[in-house]
Amino acid sequence: MKNLLSFILFLCSIQVFGQLQTCPININYSNGNLTHWFGYTGVFQNKTSRQHLDIINYDSTSALPTGTLNAISISEYGTVPAGIEVNTSNSQDPFGSFETIPTINGYSYNYSMKIGSTTINTASNGVIADPNLGGLFRGLGYTINVPAGPADVPYVVTYAYAMVLESAPHDNDQVPMFTAKLNTNNGIIDCASAVYLLPTTYNGTAYVLDQKGALQEGFTQSGVPSPNNNGNNNENPYRVWTKGWTEVIFDLAPYRGQQVTLTFEADNCVPKGHFAYAYVALKNVCQGLEIAGTTIGCTNANLTYAIPELKGANYEWTIPNGWKYLKDSLNTITVRPDTSKTGTIVARAINGCADLKANINVTISPPTIPGIVKGDSTVCKGLIPNQNFPLGITGNRGSVLTWQSSADNGRIWVDLRDSSSVHIAKNLTSNTLFRAIVQNGPICSIDTTNAAKITINPKPIAGKISPDNIQICLDQPLLNALTLNGSTGTSINWQSSIDQTNWTNTIPANKDTIQSVNGIRGKTYFRAIVSTKACPSDTSNKVSIGIYNVHYPQAIIPKDTTICFGTVANLSATILIGTSFQWVNPNTIFNAGNGVVTEIPFQINAKSAPSKKTDYIISITNAGCPNILYDTIHVNVLPSLSINAGHDTTILKNQPLQLNALLSDKRPVNYVWTPSIGLNKTNIANPISILDGTISTLRYNVSVVDSLGCSATDNLLVTVLNSGPDIYVPTGFTPNGDGRNDGLRPTVYGITKQYYFSVYNRWGQQIFFTTEIGKSWDGFWNGVAQPSGAYVFVAEGVDFLGKRITRTGTAVLIR
């Protein structure tokens, strides 16, 4: 909504500066027809020449079929569709989606002219009798009698054009194009004439569209396919390109007192099969250069100014001191006034035909400050019907564009169509937010105030307390004893009384719907007061709590304990007030006691050994008090702890052995390895052992214990060989399935990396390969049992000292 308001107000502030002056009659089609314009339609002389074969001419002094007087359209040469027509109502072009009557730089053109159509000269549709002729062309022109006067006083003509061209695989002399030409008796005025086309390039075999060049010229590829197939199914159907509205100016001051002719023409391609059409609109202003832009700016807000294009011109812009250039694209600039100074922007356009200059004075306003909305209110719903709430703004710079309201806490805002400085909110039935949209002048940015809130609180309903009547023993605490149901309000206050006349607020204050009771010594009444801001409070029903003149049981009971699996939990408790006790689940308890309290305090020393997490509930009774004390001891059982020291192993002397104890879970534990012989550390899970060979065998034990004392142990046997690293491969094996010597497996000592074992048959084929130490060949290859005989093996690896060891030989397979 902000952006929409900014855009509307910006358009309202746009002005075009230049002196109003008299232009030729109907040069801008203000009559809604082609009167005073001459026209022509035709075809090219042949399929290779752009030379016109003028078939039909329309003069500017007679009516159709020979002239343009009062005509609104002229047919394409030899066919029905209009090749030239005046647009008096706006619409969108089907290929480019731009408007057919433009608004450019704040100037709204009222009419435009369309030259050309999608019609092409095809022999199959019978449009042209002679299929050897080329493509269609059509043009429209105006002969201007330039008024006499000084040559240094500009007499300008401004036109805007937009194009739709079908890309064609021809050289640039034959493609569809749109031209604008200005002629005198001495010929074409080059600096006021232009040719617009889609450029092509030759790729070695054919002419193709120069897409980069087309984009640089401002063309955009249309998403609408061409309606013509031209008899060539290989062409891309999406070959139509468009260029939106562009404004052009030229100066006729050098031709004062002379006649000049302005002609616009749209040509299909020369061979005939690709169309072209263009829109042309003209201003009814003919003197001096114009700068389009706003006359009212805002500090630190971007401002854009533009002049029409002048063919081949150099553009000079001058801006006030303290302003910054943000963007300069020849005939358009964007600037930022960083000061509040009023300034003048000057534009100059110079080419071989013209030297035009214009200026515009701009007043700069300080930026918008939204200010603060005051008027937050809270009222009771229905207490004061039809109440008005005035909302005003303070500290703002700028005017209110509109007030907005939201009934869903700011998710959706509704425009109230009120631009007054004070908004009066009326007839509210629910909570509503209000804010204002503020802008300091039409060009400064729009800003939004804070949101003021009108709160409509419903009348409170106290509800009902339950239960109605409770009997308790002396000093019996009642957690969450009373519950308030069906209340409506924002604040609750619980009160108590012993006489139902004098009421005291509970301490500490409780604003919940649940009230606990503790420490009362006689019959006591309770009630709840429910309130809502700005509304009178409401009172609930009264409930009573009676007292038995006997103390409620009391005991000291541990709440939670954690034990290791397989150990005993102590379920100790100390009864301070009570005559008997009972365990709810006595069958799982040892030394549970007989349930009789013989003295006060009374100590209970029960035990239990649960295998999983278990709750043990005890009930304690005090004779004369009907209410029983229940309490629960939660026993958490940690899972059984186990440790795996690893497999027994054989190593070489001085060979590093990585030990790794694996724990059954991730609980924190302390490690102890014994003995410490050869170990780098004894208190971690993965120490390294290096034995020098003085001991042939050594059994390492590892013990772990957690913070609760849960423990576990394991061990492994390490055998130490005094020989060096090596690989031993048996000379034979018998894979007969008897479980003995069924595989050919190397015995490896001291090899730590890059190990492999390969077996080859008599033809040199590798029939087994592994890099896994301890893995054997079972006598099969590709699932087929290999015959008895000798097989070559290669075993290799790098020992712990970095030395490579290789063993080769033969082993006999015996079946």
pLDDT score for 2: 39
Q: Which residues of the chain have pLDDT under 50?
A: 1-20, 124-126
Question: What's the DSSP call for residue 744?
Answer: B
For 586, list phi and psi in degrees, rounded to 5: -70, -20
The length of the chain in residues reads: 815
pLDDT score for 231: 56
Please report, as a single letter, which amino acid is at residue 474: L
Query: Using an 8 Å Cβ cutoff, are 414 and 404 in contact?
Result: yes
pLDDT score for 230: 67
Query: Using an 8 Å Cβ cutoff, are 661 and 682 in contact?
Result: no
- Exposed / middle / buried, residue 544 (Cβ in 10 Å: 0-12, 13-18, 19+): middle
Residue of 784, 791, 788, 668 lying closest to 729 (CA atoms):
791
Q: What is the pLDDT of residues 402-426, one digit of tens each?
A: 999 999 999 999 999 999 999 999 8
Taking the C-alpha atoms of residue 15 and residue 271, their distance in angstroms, rounded to an integer, is 46
Residue of 117, 118, 116, 86 lying closest to 100 (CA atoms):
86
Residue of 348, 333, 362, 332 lying closest to 289 (CA atoms):
348
Please report, as a single letter, which amino acid is at residue 489: G
Task: For residue 312, give every residue at least 6 positions away whose Cβ sits within 8 Å of its Cβ, in sequence order, or none.
Answer: 191, 351, 352
Q: Pull the structure tokens for residue 693.
A: 């060979």
Task: For residue 757, give every residue at least 6 positions away whose Cβ sits within 8 Å of its Cβ, in sequence order, or none.
Answer: 729, 746, 768, 769, 770, 771, 775, 777, 793, 794, 795
pLDDT score for 386: 76
- Residue 590, classed as helix, strand or coil, is strand
- Residue 794, classed as helix, strand or coil, is strand
Task: Tell me the chain's radius of gyration from C-alpha atoms.
Answer: 51
pLDDT score for 409: 94
Taking the C-alpha atoms of residue 442 and residue 660, their distance in angstroms, rounded to an integer, is 79
- Residue 52, classed as helix, strand or coil, is strand
Query: Using an 8 Å Cβ cutoff, are 622 and 582 in contact?
Result: no
Residue of 172, 159, 156, 283 lying closest to 217 (CA atoms):
172
pLDDT score for 123: 54
Taking the C-alpha atoms of residue 599 and residue 618, their distance in angstroms, rounded to an integer, is 18
Taking the C-alpha atoms of residue 642 and residue 670, their distance in angstroms, rounded to an integer, is 13
DSSP 386-437: T--EEEEEES-BSEEEEEEEESSTTSS-EE----SSEEEE-S--S-EEEEEE
Taking the C-alpha atoms of residue 497 and residue 392, their distance in angstroms, rounded to an integer, is 48
CA 240, 224, 114, 286 dihedral sign is negative
- CB atoms < 10 A from the CB of 814, how many? 12
pLDDT score for 233: 66
- CB atoms < 10 A from the CB of 795, how many? 22
For 584, list phi and psi in degrees, rounded to 5: -70, -35
Q: What is the pLDDT of residues 203-212, one digit of tens each?
A: 999 999 999 9
DSSP 702-725: EEEEETT--EEEEEEEEEEE-S-S
Task: For residue 1, give every residue at least 6 positions away whose Cβ sits within 8 Å of its Cβ, in sequence order, or none.
Answer: 413, 415, 437
pLDDT score for 19: 40
Angle at 645 between CA 644 and CA 647, to 5 degrees: 100
In terms of C-beta distances under 8 Å and separation of at least 24 residues, what long-range contacts does 87-96 make, across chains too? 87/111, 87/112, 87/113, 87/114, 87/279, 88/29, 88/32, 93/162, 93/164, 93/242, 93/279, 94/224, 95/164, 95/222, 95/224, 95/240, 95/242, 96/162, 96/164, 96/220, 96/222, 96/242, 96/243, 96/244
- Residue 767, classed as helix, strand or coil, is strand
